[in-house]
Amino acid sequence: MLLYNKLSNDERAALIKKANEKRLTLSFYKYHKIDDVESFRNYLFTSFEKLNILGRIYVAMEGVNAQLSIPAKKIKKLKQLLDSITFLKNTRLNIGIEHNNESFLKLKIKIKDKIVADGLKPNEYDIENSGIHLSAKEFNDLLDKPNTITIDMRNHYESEVGHFKGAICPDVDTFRESLPLIKDKFDFAKTKKNILMYCTGGIRCEKASSYLKKSGYDNVFQLSGGIIEYARQVKESSIENKFLGKNFVFDNRLSERIGTEVIAKCHLCGEVSDNHVNCNNEACHVLFIQCEKCNKELNGYCSYACKNTSMLPIELRKKARKGRKKKSRFFKKGRLSEKV
């Protein structure tokens, strides 16, 4: 029995097109001690493959973190499967508001040290003692209070294209960078202010809120289900939407439109744009924001250097890359303008 993906992206895309059925993109997570991680990983793989589920799943001794694409008609069977696993019973599925049949093209289930890379030691947090979970309406109410500090627990390339009104958005590349930075920066407010945090689906806030509480913060709150669940509740219950722009997502869609505003700028020319792309040069593949004009001019490359290199014969492309240091995967604000 194969316990790994055996089809290429092109082969999978062809099968999805041939099937011609609607697929849903969703996510779920659960912190729970798993003793036999490998057996659990293999069980998930065989079970998900039977349901034609694709996606990226991390399994660790501390739990499971899953982002999936599934045929819409099989969503009930997925719920039944999860309910049959004791610690996943009644787990909330964060279903996206925008869907793409090719959001994932492979099923990858990886064993990790942690389901969220946080850089924390076991004694620095207690996952059983996390922040108070808030619905969309409760979040909006607390967001408006003058005694509230709202913190975006995501990375800069995520908050750059979308965030809540008045939120503090740390300029960090990784989640692990943000934790000590936030703890130290808001030490003055640990017993005096409401600390309100949010992330994409809630998983990072579970860790962050428990870390702050262990560090002596009193009034810690988090958006239950993250931005994904917030968007669903806003739509279904006609709640005021206080999220500006797009919600960055970690699949081939790259984002979901939550607010009508475009709050970011093209990293090449500075024009208003919130369209993330990956550089077409496979040796680069950097994630950055590119407006339609620059995309047309550079054909999806991040620079003329990458565009010109990709036009060379394969041997010359290899030679051009030889000895070159691997650059950062993500652009900081304005970084690219110096190299085009």
- Confirm whether 269 is domain-assigned: no
Structure tokens belonging to residue 116: 């969220």
Q: Cα(238)–Cα(259) distance, rounded to whole angstroms? A: 14
**Domain final position from 111, 137, 153:** 111
pLDDT for res 279: 92
User: How far is Cα 277 from Cα 264, in angstroms, rounded to an integer?
Assistant: 14
pLDDT of the chain, 340 residues: tens digit per residue = 568 888 899 999 999 999 999 999 999 999 999 999 999 999 999 999 999 999 999 999 999 999 999 999 999 999 999 999 999 999 999 999 889 999 999 999 999 999 999 999 999 999 999 999 999 999 999 999 999 999 999 999 999 999 999 999 999 999 999 999 999 999 999 999 999 999 999 999 999 999 999 999 999 999 999 999 999 999 999 999 999 999 999 999 999 999 999 999 999 999 999 999 999 988 888 999 999 999 999 999 999 988 888 777 777 766 665 655 544 444 454 444 443 3
The verdict on residue 4 lying in a domain is no
Does residue 267 contact residue 336 with C-beta atoms inside 8 Å? yes
Task: Quote the pLDDT of residue 4.
Answer: 81
Pick the closest to residue 247 from 231, 236, 234 (CA basis).
Answer: 231
Which residues are tagged catalytic? 199
Reference 241, options 151, 140, 166, 95; nearest CA is: 140
Same domain, 105 and 126: no
- 218 and 191 Cβ atoms separated by less than 8 Å: yes
Q: What is the pLDDT, as a whole number, of residue 2?
A: 66
CA distances from 54 to 4, 16, 71, 249 (A): 11, 11, 10, 16
**Residue 317: domain span:** 276-338
Q: Are residues 197 and 288 in the same domain?
A: no
Handedness of CA 115, 120, 123, 129 (dihedral sign): negative
For residue 223, what are the β-bridge partners? 134
In a domain, 264, yes or no: no
* Same domain, yes or no: 196 and 162: yes
Asked if the structure places residue 266 within a domain, the reply is: no
Q: How many angstroms separate the Cα of 194 from the Cα of each of 173, 183, 217, 221?
A: 25, 14, 9, 7
Q: Are residues 132 and 224 in the same domain?
A: yes
pLDDT of residue 318: 64
